[in-house]
A and B are shown apart, each in its own frame.
Chain A
Amino acid sequence: MARIRISARKALHEWKLYLFVVPSLLMIATFSYFPALSAVYHSFFDWGGGEYKQFLGLGNYRRLFSDPVLWGAFGTIGILIIANIFKMIPSIAIAVLVHRLKSDRWQYWYRVLLVIPMIVPGLVTLFIWKFFFDPTSGLLNAFLDATHLKSVLIELDREVLHWNVFAEGIPIPWLGDPKLIVPSLILWGFPWIGAVGVLIYLAGLQSIGTEVYEAAEIDGASSLDKFWYVELPLILTQVRINLVLLVIGTLQGFGLQFLLLGNSGGAGQAGMVPGLWMFNKAFIAGEFGYACAIGMLLFVFILVLTYFNNKYVRVDK
């Protein structure tokens, strides 16, 4: 629909139209723009969140660069980002598998089953996993004991890892041992199926016509060939978008670490991530100014990623 152009002169008469955007604008000005500007401003101050503040110049930023916890946190988030990228594979694999099924009815039912985890609040799924990790009543340890996989882990620890975290007769403290915290954060959510991702991939795959497969088969393409040359190219855009969103989401997220490990990032702060450190500095230590500076650092990282995303990855329509 072509929009109705209203000239500047006529706009004086039709000024009431502006009232339609004013409420939305006021909301985002107050709760999005103001906090963002406030964060930039207060990152230069020693600020406790109230009236009192003292100008520090670049003090907070200098402190960022010599904050060992923060750089440790960036190291941890780096590991988690790399792990999360690999955790995209199961969703792609299951989408391709479901798509290749001959029966439409089964495709439909698998799709419904895949969405079921989404109707449990995310927080609840997370707490159920926390319960799985529980050393004494948790099911992960019960499973490892029952299947004797624990002796494999003990062997692995003794011969390869040298972590001294697995021992006969002692329940494994999944979220309690600094060495096991990052592995547990990675293991969380196994088998890492993202329902939304699968649905989107399936939608992309649906546009492949039967004749493409027939042609591929005449050429003697194997299953793997079909994946690389027919299926993957069709969902590649979506895979790339998901990849960038995932990296950005992991970089700024700290809900997972907060809920599983608490605001200090668990034993030895092994699960500390930058977002959680910002939260911790503001709401536990009361150093709002420094927390704003951490926030600005994350902001710049994500802005750069978003820039590259829009320049090189995102394909509009």
Chain B
Amino acid sequence: MNPAPSPAPAGGREGSDWLKHAIIIAILCIELLPFYMMLQISVKDNTSFLANPWLPLPPGEWNLGNLVSGIRLIGPYIANTVFVAVSATGASLALALLGAYFFARYQMPFGRLLWAVFLVLMLMPGVANIVPLFALLKGMGLLNSLNALILLGVAGGQVFQVFLLRNFIEDIPKDLFEAAEIDGASHFQQLRSIVIPMSGPIIGTLAILGFLGAWNDFMMPLIILRDRELFTLGVGLIYLDGEYVKKWGEIMAAYLIASIPLILIFLFTMKLFIRGLSAGAIKG
């Protein structure tokens, strides 16, 4: 097809677009309904929620106490999740960079075989792993610990990250590495001064994906963690959902607070965020 996509609007040239706008806006309204509900219920107490579930309260009547109880409810879970997400993402990317550097720069004996070891996992379904993983972690004495989640996060990220980083590093001009080698740079120096600066966008994208993954994870934490102090967000929300007396205002406030870190990431890294989402879909 056309290699240089024209920036001009492509679709129907004639007539006005009002019908398309109407359809899109209608769909968006329903799509964003959960988001809207979360926002407006988060400042209502139970009486005002039951009296008026649909419309937002005027700002004067907002019950901001909900947000305070929301922070009390899930603040500790968020702290645990941030700890796991940041450590796992950081460690995972560090190891993946080393691995990708090896595959991208050198063709060692057995290199092809080692690469196959990674590639097979791209295709192998992990569905049966959850049960033996639990037994393995139990055997390693890692149940009920956040370290287990970090280890799983690091291991789970390796294949995809090594795969993408390798492609990226291979595209870095060879002269850069040769010049560095003439200057006597070690492998680590080359990684630090060439690879990391040159692959900023892909590292950023992978970091966001890793963080999102850790943030949304609930199955392994649910199986592994037992003590309330160690709960990550996923488990915390499941327990919150299981409570009998529902104060919807406080619950929605908690949901809102659980979203804030992602909202911040989104605001500051919109481009990387959108690219990360698209890259994640190709993951397979």
CA distance A71 to B152 in the complex (A): 31
Residues of A within 8 A of B57 (CB): none
Whether B95 contacts A298 by the Cβ 8 Å rule is no
Judge if B47 is at the interface, Cβ distance under 8 Å. Answer: no
Nearest CB on B from A309, distance (A): 8
Tell whether A102 pairs with B125 under 8 Å between CB atoms, given A14-B108, A121-B215, A124-B255. Answer: no
Across-interface contacts of A127 in B (CB, < 8 A): 237, 241, 251, 255
Chain A residues near B105 (CB-CB < 8 A): 1, 3-4
Asked if residues B24 and A21 are in contact (CB atoms below 8 Å), the reply is no
Q: How far is the CB of A136 from chain B (nearest CB, A)?
A: 10
Given contacts A128-B38, A209-B6, A288-B135, contact A90 B27 (CB under 8 A): yes
Chain A residue nearest in CB terms to B236: A123
Q: How far is the CB of A275 from chain B (nearest CB, A)?
A: 7
A256-292 interface code vs B (CB 8 A; 1 in, 0 out)? 0011000000000000000100110011000010011
Distance in Å: Cβ of B35 to nearest Cβ of chain A: 6
Bin the interface of chain A by size. 35 or more
B134 / chain A contacts, CB cutoff of 8 Å: 49, 282-283
Instruction: State whether A137 touches B248 (Cβ < 8 A).
Output: yes
Cβ of A164 < 8 Å from any Cβ of B? no
Among A62-70, A72-80, A169-177, A195-203, the stretch in contact with B: A195-203
Contacting chain A: which of B60-68, B167-175, B199-207? B167-175
Determine if A24 and B278 form an interchain contact, defined as CB atoms under 8 angstroms apart.
no
| Residue-wise interface mask of B (71-113) relative to A, using a CB-CB cutoff of 8 A (1 in contact, 0 not) | 0000000000000000000000001101101111111110000
* B37, CB-defined interface residue at 8 Å: yes
The answer to whether B172 and A27 have CB atoms under 8 Å apart is: no
State whether A104 and B132 are in contact (beta carbons under 8 Å apart), knowing that A110-B28, A128-B38 are contacts in the complex: no
| Chain A residue at minimum C-beta to C-beta distance from B11 | A100
Docked pose: A90 CA to B2 CA in angstroms: 27
User: B residues within 8 A CB of A21?
Assistant: 98-99, 102-103, 114
The answer, yes or no, to whether A11 is at the interface (CB within 8 Å) is: yes
Asked whether any CB of chain B lies closer than 8 Å to the CB of A147, the reply is: no
Do residues A28 and B23 form an inter-chain contact, with CB atoms below 8 A? no
Given contacts A24-B162, A241-B284, contact A120 B259 (CB under 8 A): yes
User: What A residues does B5 contact at CB under 8 A?
Assistant: 206-209
> B55 at interface (Cβ–Cβ under 8 A)?
no
How far is A99 from B133 in the complex, measured between Cα atoms in Å? 45
Q: How many residues of B contact A (CB 8 A)?
A: 107
Cβ of B12 under 8 Å from chain A: yes
Given A3-B170, A122-B216; A35-B132 close (CB under 8 Å): yes
A131 to B34, CA, bound (A): 10
Q: Does A86 contact B (CB under 8 A)?
A: no
Closest residue to A30 on the B side, CB-wise? B155
Main secondary structure on B side of the interface with A = helix
Contacting pair A39 B27 (CB below 8 A): no
Pick from B13, B223, B280: contact of A214, CB under 8 Å:
B13
A213 CB contact (under 8 Å) in B13, B31, B223 = B13
Chain A positions within 8 Å of B53 at CB level = 137, 139, 142
- In the complex, which residues 181-218 of chain B have their Cβ closer than 8 Å to any Cβ of chain A? 187, 215-216, 218
CB of A103 within 8 A of CB of B132, answer no
Contact between B132 and A27, CB atoms less than 8 A apart: no
B230: CB under 8 A from chain A?
A: no
Q: In the complex, what's the smallest C-beta–C-beta distance from B279 to chain A, in angstroms?
A: 10
Q: Roughly how many angstroms separate A7 CA and B32 CA in the complex, as a whole number?
A: 58
Name the one of A197, A217, A298 contacting B281, with C-beta atoms under 8 angstroms: A197
Residues of B that sit less than 8 Å from A by CB: 1-2, 5-14, 17, 20-21, 23-24, 27-28, 30-32, 34-35, 37-38, 49-50, 53-54, 95-96, 98-99, 101-109, 114, 117-118, 121, 123-136, 138, 151-152, 154-156, 158-159, 162, 169-174, 187, 215-216, 218-219, 223, 233-234, 237-238, 241, 246, 248, 251-252, 255, 258-259, 262-263, 265-266, 270, 273-274, 277-278, 280-282, 284
9 tightest A-B contacts by CB?
Answer: A100-B11, A295-B128, A31-B155, A38-B132, A209-B2, A24-B99, A20-B102, A302-B125, A35-B132
